[in-house]
A and B are shown apart, each in its own frame.
Chain A
Amino acid sequence: MTDLQPVLEFRNVTKRFGSLTANDAISLSLHAGEILALLGENGAGKTTLMNILFGHYRADEGAALVDGQELPPGSTQAAIQAGIGMVHQHFTLADNLTVLENITLGTESLYAWRQDQKKARAKLVAMSEDYGLLVDPDVLVSSLSVGERQRVEILKALYRDARILILDEPTAVLTPQESDNLFATLKAITKKGLAIIFISHKLHEILAISSRIAVLRRGAIVGSLETAVARREQLAELMVGVAVARPKLTAIAKGEPVLEISGLSTDGAGASTLKDVNLTIRAHEIVGIAGVAGNGQSTLADLLSGLTQRYAGSVRLNNSALPTGDPRAVVAAGVGRIPEDRHARGMVGEMEIWENLISEDLRSPDISNSGIIINSSKSKSRAVRQIEEFDVRCSGPEAETKLLSGGNMQKLILARALSRKPTLILANQPVRGLDEGAIAYVQNQLLQARQRGAAILLISEDLDELMSLTDRIAVMFHGQLSDAIPTGDRTIAEIGLMMAGQGSVTPGEERSLDH
């Protein structure tokens, strides 16, 4: 076997779902010791390709080859035996087992009398030292941080003698510092001769880590280039097709305070319990909250959405107490809400579009006669206007909501939340999972709302978004919220440290990673 032989090769892989071609004659090769980045938007076909490799799907045409040998299609077992290991975006670990137990899970025969823990432990310890993936084999996974859990996932793949490691959006749940650690680890792993496929849609990461980049768009490879010669703008254009400029903030004078939170605490223990939160947002202002998921952002969002009732402290909207525990009263008081999970909370998928558009003001005279009978002709004509104004692509107000794409569904949520011209907008991860076109649309809507005088609270895990879209940024960690500082005054690296709970550092040491 020569070095020229790729360890993994895709030959003309085509996969169709009905009329949609998810993978269109994809050919790719991966060599030992290299990190190949697979770049593409949601729905570009990255996951489909990996599912074919892993035997979850069968390709309609073409095949995947490991060391020149064709993988039998449709067999996950064969893929694992051929040395392919996958680290999923959502971890697949058992919280109540130790690291060692998690790693050996499934590798031992079910019919063995007892597990050979000694040998397994020795192999794990040797491996973790070899690769610099240090983790205590005897602690429970539930006590590990997110970054450590990911390390366990990687070790799990390596323990099964993986030579090809696939990481699907591995940094989605990490702080910037944890991401840097991950990158160092991945580079160390490739030095040992392993090959890595790194799936992401974040350009800066891909430029930092990979040796080669393949760009997927609408199921086809639209570009394949060496990282050394790749430019950010060029990649963005390849990925999206046309260069989409994300909107930027323009200076505007701030108005009166709209939302005033002081001394806000909630019941309970744990990282998501709010502790003495203070925040003021004025008219014409967007304040961003950064933080790793699970540090209290959802608690704050639920409270402002009218879902949570019990709290201590004061939350005032336009100089009067914000109603709590009653979403309809909150909406009536002038809050427009964009929920974190549009499928689970935003919309009832099986209902028609017009029905979802009236869900927040069912009992208002616009929608129903004395709150009893729904006036469907009035509701539908309002829905038609909203669909037009927010450019929702659908067959009409009577289309089933779940048939909409993610971007169109988000536009529908914007239509419902923003039509009433709310004074406070609560935007929780408003662009998560959307394609570039829809991201630009949503961000522009938020900027327009700021222009007309709304106060906006933007909760996001995407620091790039926060840096470009907010007037001030605060960081949430373990239920505590830092002061909201003008956005230019902190670098991404500083915010990253605060997200990890390491307090603030003096500004100015290091400028933003991307700007």
Chain B
Amino acid sequence: MAPFWAVLASMVLCAALISWAGASVFQAYGLLVKGAFGSSFAINETLTRSIPLILTGLAVSVAFRAKFYNIGAEGQLYVGALAATYFGTGLITLPSGLMIPFLILMGALAGGALLIVPVLLKTHFKVDEVVTTLLLNFVVLLVVSYLIEGPWKDPMSLGWPQAASIIDEGVLPTLLAKGRLHFGLIVALIFAVVIWLMMKYSVFGYEIRAVGLNAKAAEFAGIKVNRTVILTALISGGLAGVAGVSETAGLKGYLTLDLSPGFGYTGIAVAMLAQLNPLAVIPSAIFLSAVYVGSDAMSRAVNIPTYIADVLVGVSVLAVLCSVMFSQYKVRWLK
């Protein structure tokens, strides 16, 4: 129940900001809901936006379970997009039924590979992964920037910094006749179920949980702690990499520098709101996506900046963290 109360609390808090900005609270929230779910176009858009959030949310929730604090899903997403671009723009041509899984696999490998150095630094030299994974995001963005402004720049792009388009065989098909919703949603849902099954029923999922909850007891019981953390990191990076493939080959069709407006970071919020449960990541991602999509529509109709979406998301996450604390401790008033 904690996430629902947290969301409610953050909506109440944001209501104050909205009325401060001079709009009617009910009208604003009404517009937000309408913008996110009010039409088939809106629903389509909300679901489309939720695809990368489901995948980065899964990436974060798996890693956090093992107490590997991967803050670098943004970078891993872009590395996945780089892999999709490298293999998907003509280097290899396969029939569509093979090309798409191949690109997804390459994106996952690339995303996982980006975490190899941070995770080995952590397991072997106790280097804080929060710092290394976070800073790698900026490194990756600079590499992407270099590539699409330089060697990978599409000569047909009329000067825009973007890479060549993914070949037709590699493009994820759209799911509906109208709108942008694409096959990435199915991929994300499958991953969510697989990760949930893995965490709940498999030996490896048990080992991830044991290592995260009490690494010393896990080690004593014979679980190889370092191996578990390394594998978890690879899975986490892989999931974020898939998000990059899905955005490149599904939504845009080509790599640009604004491929992700911070999906990697929002993935942390998705995972926290889902309390690291892989199935709960799905509604959590859809909700946060709705907030972003809806607030765009809201800001067009009333005079409230879209930043209200960031505030709403941020406050929700804080409220969840607080409610987790309150469920473990009892508040007592001292005289």
- Interface residue ranges of B21-57 to A (CB < 8 Å): none
- Interface residue ranges of A60-113 to B (CB < 8 Å): 74
Q: Is the CB of A305 within 8 A of B220?
A: yes
Assembled-state Cα–Cα distance A71/B222 (Å): 52
The verdict on B206 contacting chain A, using a C-beta distance below 8 Å, is: yes
- Interface residue ranges of A332-354 to B (CB < 8 Å): 337, 339, 344-351
Q: Is the CB of B201 within 8 A of A373?
A: yes
Closest to B218 in A: A348
Contact partners of B214 in chain A: CB under 8 A: 344, 347-350
In which size bucket is the chain A interface? 20 to 34
Assembled-state Cα–Cα distance A166/B214 (Å): 35
Min CB–CB distance A349 → chain B (angstroms): 7
Q: Is the CB of A350 within 8 A of B203?
A: no
Q: Is the CB of A307 within 8 A of B220?
A: yes
Q: Is the CB of B219 within 8 A of A374?
A: no
Closest to A58 in B: B334
Residue among A307, A327, A344, A347 having the largest count of chain B Cβ atoms under 10 Å: A327
The verdict on B247 contacting chain A, using a C-beta distance below 8 Å, is: no
The verdict on B213 contacting chain A, using a C-beta distance below 8 Å, is: yes
Contact partners of A430 in chain B: CB under 8 A: none
Contact partners of A373 in chain B: CB under 8 A: 201-203
The verdict on B182 contacting chain A, using a C-beta distance below 8 Å, is: no
The verdict on A255 contacting chain B, using a C-beta distance below 8 Å, is: no
The verdict on B221 contacting chain A, using a C-beta distance below 8 Å, is: yes
- Interface residue ranges of A341-374 to B (CB < 8 Å): 344-351, 355, 359-360, 362-363, 368, 371-374
- Interface residue ranges of B219-250 to A (CB < 8 Å): 219-223
The verdict on A427 contacting chain B, using a C-beta distance below 8 Å, is: no
Assembled-state Cα–Cα distance A337/B202 (Å): 25
Closest to B197 in A: A373
The verdict on B209 contacting chain A, using a C-beta distance below 8 Å, is: yes
Contact partners of A350 in chain B: CB under 8 A: 213-214
Mostly, the A contact residues are mixed
- Interface residue ranges of B258-298 to A (CB < 8 Å): none
Partner of B206, one of A328, A329, A374: A374
The verdict on B181 contacting chain A, using a C-beta distance below 8 Å, is: no
Q: Is the CB of B220 within 8 A of A372?
A: no
In which size bucket is the chain B interface? 10 to 19
The verdict on A489 contacting chain B, using a C-beta distance below 8 Å, is: no
Task: Check A371/B203 contact, CB under 8 A, given A345-B216, A349-B213.
Answer: yes
Q: Is the CB of B222 within 8 A of A327?
A: yes
Contact partners of A376 in chain B: CB under 8 A: 201
The verdict on B210 contacting chain A, using a C-beta distance below 8 Å, is: yes
Assembled-state Cα–Cα distance A347/B207 (Å): 13
Q: Is the CB of A374 within 8 A of B213?
A: no
Min CB–CB distance A375 → chain B (angstroms): 9
The verdict on B217 contacting chain A, using a C-beta distance below 8 Å, is: yes
- Per-position contact with A for B320-335: 1 when CB-CB < 8 Å, else 0? 0000000000000010
Contact partners of B222 in chain A: CB under 8 A: 306, 326-331, 359-360, 362
Task: Check A347/B203 contact, CB under 8 A, given A306-B222, A326-B222, A331-B222.
Answer: no
Min CB–CB distance A352 → chain B (angstroms): 11
Closest to A358 in B: B206
Min CB–CB distance A177 → chain B (angstroms): 34
Task: Check A351/B201 contact, CB under 8 A, given A305-B220, A327-B219, A339-B220.
Answer: no
Min CB–CB distance B180 → chain A (angstroms): 38
Q: Is the CB of A327 within 8 A of B220?
A: yes
Min CB–CB distance B161 → chain A (angstroms): 46
Closest to A347 in B: B217
Closest to A362 in B: B203
Assembled-state Cα–Cα distance A376/B203 (Å): 11
Min CB–CB distance B133 → chain A (angstroms): 25
Q: Is the CB of A359 within 8 A of B209?
A: no
Contact partners of A305 in chain B: CB under 8 A: 220
Assembled-state Cα–Cα distance A374/B201 (Å): 6
Closest to A361 in B: B222
Contact partners of A349 in chain B: CB under 8 A: 213-214
Contact partners of A360 in chain B: CB under 8 A: 221-222
Task: Check A355/B206 contact, CB under 8 A, given A306-B222, A373-B201, A376-B201.
Answer: yes
Q: Is the CB of B202 within 8 A of A346?
A: no
Q: Is the CB of B203 within 8 A of A368?
A: yes
Task: Check A351/B210 contact, CB under 8 A, given A307-B220, A327-B220.
Answer: yes
Min CB–CB distance A365 → chain B (angstroms): 12
Assembled-state Cα–Cα distance A206/B334 (Å): 38
Closest to B220 in A: A345
- Interface residue ranges of B189-220 to A (CB < 8 Å): 201-204, 206-207, 209-210, 213-214, 216-220
Assembled-state Cα–Cα distance A347/B220 (Å): 9
Contact partners of A337 in chain B: CB under 8 A: 220
Closest to A370 in B: B203
Min CB–CB distance B324 → chain A (angstroms): 13
Q: Is the CB of B223 within 8 A of A374?
A: no
Q: Is the CB of A346 within 8 A of B220?
A: yes
Q: Is the CB of B220 within 8 A of A374?
A: no
Q: Is the CB of B220 within 8 A of A348?
A: no
Assembled-state Cα–Cα distance A330/B220 (Å): 11
Partner of B203, one of A339, A344, A372: A372
- Per-position contact with B for A296-335: 1 when CB-CB < 8 Å, else 0? 0000000001110000000000000000001111110000
Min CB–CB distance A58 → chain B (angstroms): 8
Min CB–CB distance A417 → chain B (angstroms): 11
Contact partners of A327 in chain B: CB under 8 A: 219-222
Closest to A305 in B: B220
Assembled-state Cα–Cα distance A372/B334 (Å): 52
Q: Is the CB of A351 within 8 A of B219?
A: no
Min CB–CB distance B223 → chain A (angstroms): 7
Residue among A74, A344, A348 having the largest count of chain B Cβ atoms under 10 Å: A348
Q: Is the CB of B206 within 8 A of A362?
A: yes
Partner of A345, one of B201, B206, B207, B217: B217
Contact partners of B209 in chain A: CB under 8 A: 348, 351
Partner of A307, one of B202, B203, B207, B219: B219
Task: Check A359/B223 contact, CB under 8 A, given A344-B216, A344-B217.
Answer: yes
Task: Check A348/B202 contact, CB under 8 A, given A327-B222, A362-B207.
Answer: no
Task: Name 20 extra pairs, CB < 8 A, besides A345-B220, A346-B220, A373-B203.
Answer: A330-B222, A337-B220, A339-B220, A344-B216, A344-B217, A346-B217, A348-B214, A348-B218, A351-B209, A351-B210, A359-B217, A359-B218, A359-B221, A359-B223, A371-B203, A372-B204, A373-B202, A374-B201, A374-B206, A376-B201
Q: Which 5 A-B pairs have the closest CB atoms?
A: A328-B222, A327-B222, A359-B221, A348-B214, A345-B220
6 contacts between A and B (CB under 8 A): A307-B220, A337-B220, A344-B217, A349-B213, A362-B203, A374-B202
